[in-house]
Amino acid sequence: MTTRTTTYMTIVLMVLAAAFSRLIPHPWNFTAIGAMALFGGAYVPSKRLSLIVPLAALFLSDLVLGFHSTMLFVYVPFIAMTVYAWTLRDNKNMVRLATAALFTSSVFFLVSNFGVWATQGMYAMTWQGLINCYVAAIPFFDNQIMGDLFFTGALFGVAEVLKKTVPQVFAAHTV
């Protein structure tokens, strides 16, 4: 197996493990969705594959969890988060990663809850209804932030440890 293949397989396995966090018992919104998008965008060498790998993992977890009417409002910010992560490729540090995790949590919160307001019929189709939707979602936002910070730290931390301790897993020329 080539070093490049080993690197890709390691990254894909890490993304799949992150997607698995959606399938095990966890507090509401404490999952690795944002971290998975950031990690894929920052580490998958090909930009095209950096979109495909995390999206495929998200889709696989949705096959188990079930599809819903707000999926567009989950997948669009997920794609945006992955593209945003391309800015992390050459400069990964704790401040940038924490900022990126907070940014992705915020984007996901704003877009996904807009989707709830727009598609679920739970709130009036007014500005006040939209505000009510966002206010009702605030308790879930805390867990989203904590999950994104935790899983971003975990994924990027494991990758950096592997780069230093098992350099053939994360070859410098491919990541």
Residue ranges per structural domain of the chain: 3-164
The 10s digit of each residue's pLDDT in 27-51 is 888 988 899 999 999 998 889 999 9
Mean pLDDT confidence for 127-147: 95
Q: Which of 56, 33, 57 is nearest to 140 (CA)?
A: 33
Orientation angle between helical segments 33-43 and 47-65, nearest 10 degrees: 160
Residue 1 in this model has a pLDDT that exceeds 70: no
Render pLDDT for 141-166 as a digit per residue (tens, 0 to 9).
999 999 999 999 999 999 999 988 88
pTM of the model as a whole: 0.88
Neighbours of 56 (CB within 10 A): 16
Residue 168 phi/psi, 5-degree rounding, is: -70, -20
26 within 8 A of 149, measured Cβ to Cβ: no
